[in-house]
Structure 1
Amino acid sequence: MLTVICESPRNLQALERPRPERAPGEVLLRVKRVGVCGTDLHIFTGHQPYLAYPRVMGHELSGVVEEADADSGFVPGESVYVMPYLSCGRCVACRQGKTNCCVNIQVLGVHRDGAFTEYLCVPQRFVGKADGISLDQAAMLEFLAIGAHAVRRGEVAVGQRVLVVGAGPIGLAAMIFAKLRGATVIAIDGRQPRLDFALRHVGVAAAVPLGEGDEAELARLSDGEFFDVVFDATGNAQAMERGFRLVAHGGRYVLVSIVQGDIRFSDPEFHRRETTLLSSRNATTEDFETVMQAMKAGLVPDAALATHRLALSEVPARFQQLLDPAEGVIKAIVEC
């Protein structure tokens, strides 16, 4: 089977590997679609801290069942998606149902080889039926579920003012699901094409370019009160620290992105506003279900989100292009 391996930063190799042998309790999948994530780009450039090379990337995937246990509930040819966060089911987080932050988590494409390949074995409890959605949609469930999880963490409610800082795929996902909860959503980003996308396809109320006067504009848009819930999806420490100033009194601040190092904030301001600070990591089965239902109802602009497409065999030659801002990539999908 064809497999693309990241041997080392910026070194992708396409080679033939034996098809994996399925163990009891696993589902053998024929991989059909893989979404390219920011994590994959960081692995490619050498900026993913939780990784050992070589690695087969890819954790946003859909496929069809090739083989499964007779009592698994899966049949050959059935379309499925994969929950790529392989949780242990035993640790303190898992016992509370918080499998997204399992102590012993193994993420496909990061801690173990992922989906840039033609066949993959996955424990059956992490495989779900993609009933009523396309293979493309099923491959986009994961990153959208991260946004849905963040919105659930932020307890976004009808009529609230929400600010999303960063209009990449995760930020756009947070905008989509905050808007579906009835919030007034504002986007801020330094890339005008991303802001234009958020206005055109997500329907945000306003999109503010990053730069001089942006904070005054955010104050104007919120009647000087700023925002009930602020989401950071930038992966930038300076932006994350600045975001504390943009939270309304009594509001919530959700850090969806992560950086290596410390984040600092003014303790007097934090207490004066009684800010609730939250992290948001990965997603759970509940969030995947939320996204699936929204897709089935036609409430997610998934066709617009899938801006680029390439074959698995083209990945070594074309992957570098996905890093180019001029390409205007929102979500690239690899076809296997």
Structure 2
Amino acid sequence: MKGIVLQEPGNAVLKEIDEATAGGDEVLLQVRMVGLCGSDLNSYRGKNPLVSFPRIPGHEISATVVDPGSHKEWVTGTHVTLSPYKACGQCTACERGRPNACRDNQTMGVQRDGALTELIAIPAAKLFRADLSLKELCLVEPLTVGFHAVGRGRVTAEDTVAVFGCGGVGLGVVAGAAFRGARVIGIDLDDQKLETARKAGAAEAINSKTSDVHAQLMELTSGRGPDVVIEAIGSPATYRAAVDEAAYAGRVVYIGWAKDQVPYETRLFVHKELDILGSRNAMPEDFRDVIRMLEAKRFPVDAAVTHVVPFEATPRILAEWNREPERFTKIMIEVS
């Protein structure tokens, strides 16, 4: 079968690979669409420390059941999405019922080969069915990352939530917090992304390139600061800003991963008595929540997906994305 292989940094090729076959606990799927995210771009650039080469990317997936094997609950022709994570089941995170934070987690397209191929074999327990289009199914996994962060922040309808970064992951945060009834403030330096964030549920939007973020947040929260600040960028500046802007006794959730050391005013940790939380991957309940939201048509799918390209164009679009990342919000590959 055909697959997209990252041979080395900056070199993606379409080539023949071994055809997938399903084992006893697996279902054979025909891959329909695969979404690309920032981790895929970092893999292409050789900046993802978790990736070795060669590697087949792709973990945001919509697919169709080709052969359910012994799993009678799955019928040939059913459209599905899936959880791309594989936990060890033995580390402290797994023992505590949080396999999303598994010490030895393996995500498709990162620590193991992904879905940019014609066929994949996936454990039946990882599959989710939904009354959604192929494009919507492909959006489920990236949105779950934001939904999980919202859960980590214990967001309720009583909260004002500020979201730093309104790209693919940040949009999931905006949508997840709005779905819980919270008042959401989106923060980004791109007006188009902020407009999409409004469509996803943000009540207010702040352009950090043209506005004083602190002054705007103080005005919008009557001088209190947001109850919850969720960081979905991964820069030292926004890591610090999240702590600076959070209300007293507020919560700060980090999804983005700052590659450089972050100097903090640690007094604020104690003086505000902040809850500072990390958020990684997603749990099955996050997938189910996102599916409910998408089935309720509460997310601007067409505005969020900026580029849809055919399978054979994947090497070209990766190269273009690498050269001009600001042109792209969400890329989807039509595999079949």
**What TM-score range do you get, normalising by the shorter chain?**
over 0.9
- Single out whichever of 82-91 and 260-269 deviates more from structure 2: 260-269
What is the identity, as a one-letter code, of the residue corresponding to 1:285? Answer: P
User: How does 1:144-223 map onto structure 2 within 5 Å?
Assistant: 144-199=143-198, 201-211=199-209, 213-223=212-222
Residues in 1 aligned to 2:92 and 2:73: alpha-carbon distance in whole angstroms: 29
User: What's the CA shift string for 1:213-264, capped at 9, x where partnerless?
Assistant: 2211221111111110000001112211222100000100000111235434
Q: Are the aligned partners of 2:93 and 2:102 in contact in 1 as well (CA < 8 Å)?
A: yes
Larger mean Cα displacement after TM superposition, 54-63 or 310-319: 310-319
Instruction: State whether structure 2 residue 77 is matched by structure 1 residue 77.
Output: yes
Q: Secondary structure at the match of 1:250?
A: coil
Quote the offset at 1:81 in angstroms: 1.0
Matching residue's letter, 1:137 = E
Using structure 2 for the length normalisation, give the TM-score: 0.94
Q: Name the amino acid aligned to 2:29.
A: L
- Provide the rounded CA distance (Å) in 2 between the counterparts of 1:209 and 1:135: 32
Task: Give the superposition deviation at 1:325.
Answer: 4.5
Distance 1:326 1:97, change over 3 A: closer
C-alpha distance in 1 between matches for 2:201 and 2:81? 28
**Residue 53 of structure 2 aligns to which amino acid in structure 1?**
Y
CA distance in 1, matches of 2:171, 2:35: 15
SS in 2 for 1:248: coil
Deviation of 1:334 after TM superposition, in Å, equals 0.6
State the shift of 1:150 in Å: 0.5
* Map of 2:108 onto structure 1: 108
- Equivalent residues of 1:72, 1:124 under 8 A apart: no
Q: Distance in 1 between matches of 2:172 and 2:60?
A: 14
Mapped partners of 1:236, 1:260: distance in 2: 7
- Identity fraction in percent: 33
The SS at the match of 1:170 is helix
User: SS at the partner of 1:227?
Assistant: coil
Partner residue of 1:300?
299
Partner of 2:309: 310
> Please, which moves more after superposition, 229-238 or 297-306?
297-306
Alignment correspondent of 1:122: 122
| Partner in structure 2 of residue 132 of structure 1 | 131
Q: Which moved more, 1:316-325 or 1:273-282?
A: 316-325
Describe the shift of the 1:87–1:326 C-alpha distance in structure 2 as closer, same or farther (beyond 3 A).
closer
Q: Deviations over 1:277-328 (max 9, x none)?
A: 000000010000000011111112223212210111111122222342453x
**Comparing 49-58 and 205-214, the one that deviates more:** 205-214
Q: Which residue of 2 aligns with 1:250?
A: 249
> Deviation digits for residues 170-218 of structure 1, max 9, x if unmatched?
111101111121111111112222122223x224222111146221122
Matching residue's letter, 1:110: V
Using the alignment, how far apart are the partners of 1:240 and 1:79 within structure 2?
A: 39
For residues 107 and 120 of structure 2, what CA distance do their matches in structure 1 show?
A: 14
Alpha-carbon distance in structure 1 between the residues aligned to 2:257 and 2:176: 20
> Is this contact kept in 2: 1:86–1:126, CA < 8 A?
no
Check whether the contact 1:5–1:12 (CA below 8 A) recurs between aligned residues.
yes
Distance 1:232 1:94 in 2: 25
- State the Cα RMSD in Å: 1.6
Asked if the contact 1:7/1:54 (under 8 Å) is kept, the reply is yes
* Contact kept in structure 2, 1:162 and 1:228, CA below 8 Å: yes
Kept after mapping to 2: 8 A contact 1:2/1:17: yes
* Equivalent position SS for 2:34: strand
1:48 deviates by 0.7
In 1: Cα distance, 2:274 partner to 2:22 partner? 49
Structure 1 regions of 5+ residues with no counterpart? none
TM-score, normalisation: structure 1 = 0.94
Is the CA contact (8 Å cut-off) linking 2:24 and 2:70 kept in structure 1?
Answer: no
1:26 is matched with which residue?
26
Between the two proteins, the alignment pairs up a number of residues equal to 333
Deviations 1:47-76 (A, max 9, x none): 111110111000000111122332452222
1:275 alignment partner in structure 2: 274
Runs ≥4 residues deviating over 4 A: none
Distance 2:222 2:229 in 1: 16
Gaps of 5+ in 2: none
Alignment-derived partner of residue 322 in structure 1: 321
- Write the letter of the residue equivalent to 2:179: L
Matching residue's letter, 2:16: E
State the shift of 1:270 in Å: 1.3
Contact persistence 1:142–1:288 (CA under 8 A): yes
Query: What amino acid maps onto 1:117 in structure 2?
Result: T
**Structure 1 residue 86, shift from structure 2 partner:** 1.1
Contact 2:55 2:109 in 1 (8 A): yes
Name the CA shift for 1:294/1:54 in 2 (closer, same or farther; >3 Å).
same
Task: Check conservation: 2:200, 2:298, Cα contact below 8 A.
Answer: no
Within a 5 Å distance, the mapping from 1:57-68 to structure 2 comes to 57-68=57-68
Give the deviation of 1:8 after TM superposition.
1.0
- Residue identity opposite 1:208 in structure 2: I
| Alpha-carbon contact 1:34-1:61 (below 8 Å) kept | yes
Change in CA separation of 1:326 and 1:245 when aligned onto 2, cut-off 3 Å: closer
